[in-house]
Amino acid sequence: MLINYVHSFLRWAILLAGFWAVIRSLKGVTGKTPFTAADSKAGLFFMIFCDLQLVVGLILFFMSDTVHTGLANMGAAMKNPALRFFTVEHGVMAIIAIALVHIGKSKIKKAATDAQKHKLGLIFFGLAFIVILALIPWPFREALGKAWF
Say if residues 54 and 79 touch (Cβ distance below 8 Å): no
pLDDT over 90 percentage in the chain: 72
**Cβ burial, residue 109 (10 Å; 0-12/13-18/19+):** exposed
pLDDT per position as a tens digit, 15-26: 999 999 999 999
Q: How far apart are CA 51 and CA 65, in angstroms?
A: 23
pLDDT in tens, the chain (149 residues): 789 899 989 999 999 999 999 999 999 999 999 999 999 999 999 999 999 999 999 999 999 888 888 888 899 889 988 888 889 999 999 999 999 999 999 999 999 999 999 999 999 999 999 999 999 887 776 666 565 55
**Virtual CA dihedral for 122, 123, 126, 128, nearest 10 degrees?**
-130
pLDDT per position as a tens digit, 69-84: 888 889 988 998 888 8
